[in-house]
Structure 1
Amino acid sequence: MGTALEFYDFIIYGTAAALVFPQVFFPQMDHLTATLVAFSAFGAGFFARPLGGLVFGHYGDRIGRQKVLVATLLLMGLSTFLIGCLPGHASIGVAAPILLVLLRLVQGFAAGGEWGGAALFGIESAPPGRRGLWGSFTSMGIGVGGILGAGVFALVSAAYNDNLVDFAWRIPFWLGGTLVLIGLYARLKAPAPVAQPAIKPVRAPLAEALRQRPRQLLLCTGIAFGYCTIAYIGSTFFLTYATQVGFSSTDALMFDLTLSVAIVLSAPLFGHLSDRLGRRTVMVFGALVMALGLFAFFNLVDMQRFAVALFAYSLTGALMGATQGPIPAFLGEQFPRSMRYSGISASYQIGAALYGAGALALVAVCSLLLKETAQMSMAQIDEEAISQPLATASPH
């Protein structure tokens, strides 16, 4: 429940970045540029996530999971509520987007410590042979957060006739800030963790993980990078894509809601299968079928038929659950308890940050490998294109 409310806050920001923030915080730009800038502000939180993972992971190993999870929830709820209170660019000018980015950084910092701790709370309490299933409850929480976020935005959008810009966009943020109180109550009243053999706390858990488990850290980071790439594309870009091909904002939110429902249903199924068949088998299967499914997804949505697009989003959500279900147990099992929070949080959050950094690095590398053409005339470019094949052609 705590993870669901935490990721509700996260999802509604991505939704607002796609549908509202370009007009509210960046009205001086054309729509395309404003949308890109709004998503850049959304991406700023990813740079804070690794720091949050390192800080909260350290204290989660040193002082316990529950205290850290309460702190992450409070930070996330407060920043979400304050985003809903922010004046727009028309009221305070450039200060509005600056404050938006700062609050987004706080959100990202809190989210960096959330996922790992919540996952460990499940798998460390699981009965024998059920860690995959119990770990998947965290993944279900992410899906439930998506359902709440998309559902609230869809209801608000329908109630205000798709006019979210003036005032309605603030309602989901205010609601998220107050709903966090429910998650806070749940975490404070959570049962005591199962008794574990006494282990002397490690002074620097992450340093120990780097020293003792460098291979596991690197491979877990790679898994998180691949998974987070598709997961955050699913929760943000897919929403924008639907509106770009002609669907209304309400339709797009319904698609997003369907995707989240499919994740909630499929994550525990595949988590359970990983207990029976093994983590690696289910993870490899999930990654391969998801890769193939993406090729079908865009073609189906481009048909601009509501029922077909709804099927595409539901199928994509189900396939996402194939990797999302086993991930908490799979990553958490790679580290001993004394360094587990640090290990799982650092690898997952660095992998999430690499989702954006890796894409930008690809842009930089590909740009360097292409020829510089700024000082060439179009006639020179055309002449070079014609002459180059003749110069390299064989006599035959």
Structure 2
Amino acid sequence: MSQPQSTPASTMTPQDAHTPEASGPAATQLGTLQLGTQATTAVRTFFISGCGTALEFYDFIVYGLAAALVFPELFFPSADRLTGTLVAFAAFGAGFIVRPLGGIVVGHFGDRIGRKSMLIMTLLLMGGSTFLIGCLPTYPAVGVLAPVLLVILRLVQGFAAGGEWGGSSLFGIENSPENRRGLWGSFTSTGIGIGSLFGTAVFTLLTLLPESTVQAWAWRVPFWLGGLLVLIGLVARTRMPHESVDKEHAPRVPIVAAIKRHPKQMLLAIGVSFGYNTIAYIGSIFTVTYTEQRGYTDTESLLFQVLGSTAFMIAAPFMGLLSDRFGRKKVIAGGAVVYALFFILFFPLVDGHVVWVATLGFVLVNVFMAMPQGCIPAFLGEQFSKESRYSSLSATYQTGAALGGGTAASIATALFIAFNHGSLGVALYSSAACLILALCVLGLRETYKVPTAQLGEKLPAAD
């Protein structure tokens, strides 16, 4: 839950340090100590929210890449390659079905008993299910049981992811200095970039092995590694401070209270999530299939993603910081427009088969993708009141993710097939998602200047 509303030492501004009560050598020493404390708190917050999310989204991206590269042959071998990929993406989307449920259930207990236990639980669920995917028998060994087990574990992954994002985002923004909620909220976005980078890098190394080796056993290694790496995130999260919860004033069912109090905000937040997740999963998952269909090797396709993820990881906190300075709505809506315009040009850049040009395309796509994502954790979290914020943020974001991200790769692949392996349908689909994102963002209040204690309260007219 939110920290007590008294201003912590770590959030003292330079102006505070120069008040008449704080002057002279002692004040200088105190100011240095406070700045040092703030830096330490930022690093600690990053490891709790950013690194935990990085490990979870490593698991998530590994499945997405496997669905594009190896699962069509291992779990869905009865179709041609492209149709098998479409079915594998459909199984990938199955995990999104339960993400809203995970968001509601985990968010409920996050509001009622606190963030810490829920964030530890989501890590354990994600790590365990990921490890078990690496242990699954394939279709040649057990037939239809193989894809059934795969989908079941995807459902567990989706449930865990549904509760993870909201909690880690809120830990950042609820513990940040007043004027840095965008930056600290972006730690979660940065974690997504780190997880994507690491997961893609591992799969890139796999492509250097003989294909027979990858199909035989090497595809399992990233899943085993992901399950073990979650233990690192547990070290940070078990050392989280125990937050107090005002159970006397907490609603019995936070999600119901949120719907009654913030109906407009919840609907628009779902639209924001739908638009963003649609473009994000097209940009990070479908593009691997597209480059393969255009004649690039698996290694080249994944290297594009490695460099793109690196660009995303660097850009996300910068965008969060920009939103602290200029406002969330300008950066998010502006990013949606820029992304829509550039994504139309992305496909010709890839089609030219000039590697450095295609690389530039992937880098820019991820930079423009980071413009909304770097700000969305703070922006959506700021729309809701404290007592139901975990439930509100998780339920709305994960519902949009299920509707948008869960179907994006499959719809994009189907459009690619329908347009005779042309990119126009996918480009138009992405542009429509960007339009929805921008319009829903503009319909919400600009809250970057609102004090944390007043978030979710009735505000004056929107900026």
User: TM-score, normalized by length of structure 1?
Assistant: 0.88
Structure 2 CA distance for partners of 1:162 and 1:91, relative to 1, 3 Å: closer
Question: What secondary structure, in the 3-state scheme, does the structure 2 residue paired with 1:169 have?
Answer: helix
Number of the residue aligned with 1:3: 53
**Secondary structure of residue in 1 paired with 2:216:** coil
Q: Which moved more, 1:12-21 or 1:241-250?
A: 241-250
CA 1:160–1:185: 2 relative to 1, 3 Å: farther
Query: Compared with structure 1, are the counterparts of its residues 103 and 197 closer, same or farther at alpha carbon in structure 2 (3 Å cutoff)?
Result: closer
Alignment of 1:1-396 (within 5 A): 1-160=51-210, 164-192=214-242, 200-355=249-404
**Structure 2, unaligned runs of 5 or more:** 1-50, 413-463
Compared with structure 1, are the counterparts of its residues 124 and 356 closer, same or farther at alpha carbon in structure 2 (3 Å cutoff)?
A: closer
State whether residues 259 and 314 of structure 1, in contact with CA within 8 Å, keep that contact through their aligned partners in structure 2. yes
1:203-238 CA distance string (max 9 Å, x none): 011101100000000111110000000111122101
Give the deviation of 1:162 after TM superposition.
Answer: 8.3
Q: Output the CA distance in 2 between the equivalents of 1:359 and 1:174.
A: 27
| Bigger mean CA offset, 232-241 vs 154-163 | 154-163
Aligned equivalents of 1:95 and 1:74: distance in 2? 25
Per the alignment, do residues 300 and 247 of structure 1 end up closer, same or farther by CA in structure 2, a change over 3 Å counting? same
Indicate the larger mover: 151-160 or 279-288. 151-160
Aligned-partner residue type, residue 78 of structure 1? G
How many pairs does the alignment contain? Answer: 361
* Change in 2 beyond 3 A, CA 1:322/1:82: same
Residue 307 (structure 1) shift: 0.9
Distance 2:277 2:231 in 1: 27
Quote the offset at 1:159 in angstroms. 3.8
* C-alpha spacing 1:197/1:81, structure 2 compared with 1 (3 Å): closer
Q: Which amino acid aligns with 2:106?
A: F
The 3-state SS of whatever aligns with 1:29 is coil
Matched letter for residue 168 of structure 1: A
Q: Does the 8 A contact of 1:199 with 1:338 survive in 2?
A: no
Equivalent residues of 2:113, 2:245 under 8 A apart? no
Distance of 2:109 and 2:331 partners within structure 1: 32
SS at match of 2:79: coil
> Which AA in structure 2 matches 1:348?
Y
SS at match of 1:203: coil
Aligned residues of 2:68 and 2:88 also touching (Cα < 8 A): yes
User: 1:36 is aligned with what amino acid?
Assistant: L
Q: CA RMSD in A?
A: 1.9
Q: Following TM superposition, where does structure 1 have runs of at least 4 consecutive aligned residues deviating by more than 3 angstroms? A: 159-163, 195-199, 356-360
Deviations 1:172-226 (A, max 9, x none): 0000000011011111012455x79887221011101100000000111110000
Q: Distance in 1 between matches of 2:175 and 2:317?
A: 16
Q: Is the 8 A contact 1:162 1:250 kept in 2?
A: no
Query: Contact 2:182–2:324 (CA<8 Å) still a contact in 1?
Result: yes
- Once the 2 structures are TM-superposed, how far is the Cα of residue 43 of structure 1 from its aligned partner? 0.5
CA distance, structure 2, for counterparts of residue 162 and residue 297 of structure 1: 33
Counterpart code for 2:148:
I
1:327 and 1:162, CA in 2 relative to 1: closer, same or farther beyond 3 A?
farther
Q: Distance in 2 between matches of 1:267 and 1:136?
A: 6
After superposition, give the CA deviation of every residue in 1:334-388 in whole Å (9 maximum; x if it has no partner): 011100001100110000111167779x99xxxxxxxxxxxxxxxxxxxxxxxxx
8 Å CA contact retained: 1:157, 1:163 = no
2:354 aligned partner, one-letter code: R
For structure 1, the 5+ residue unaligned runs are 364-396
Q: Is the 8 A contact 2:288 2:302 kept in 1?
A: yes
What is aligned with 1:386? Answer: none
| Distance in 2 separating the partners of 1:20 and 1:56 | 32
Which amino acid counterpart does residue 282 of structure 1 have in structure 2?
A: V
SS at match of 2:279: helix
Shift of 1:32: 2.0
Deviations 1:31-67 (A, max 9, x none): 2221111111001011011111111111110111111
Contact 1:162 1:249 in 2 (8 A): no
Greater CA drift, 287-296 or 7-16: 287-296
TM superposition shift of 1:69: 0.6
Q: Deviations over 1:215-265 (max 9, x none)?
A: 000111110000000111122101111111011111111111111111111
Distance 2:198 2:386 in 1: 33
2:95–2:406 CA contact under 8 A, matched in 1: no
TM-score normalised by L of structure 2: 0.75
Q: Percent identity?
A: 57
In structure 2, C-alpha distance between the alignment counterparts of 1:356 and 1:268, rounded to whole Å? 22
Structure 2: distance between partners of 1:218 and 1:168: 43
What secondary structure is seen at the aligned counterpart in 2 of 1:71? helix
Residue 166 of structure 1 and its aligned partner are, at CA, apart by 1.7
The DSSP-based 3-state class of the residue aligned with 2:98 is helix
- 3-state secondary structure, aligned to 1:165: helix
Change (3 A) 1:80 1:165: same
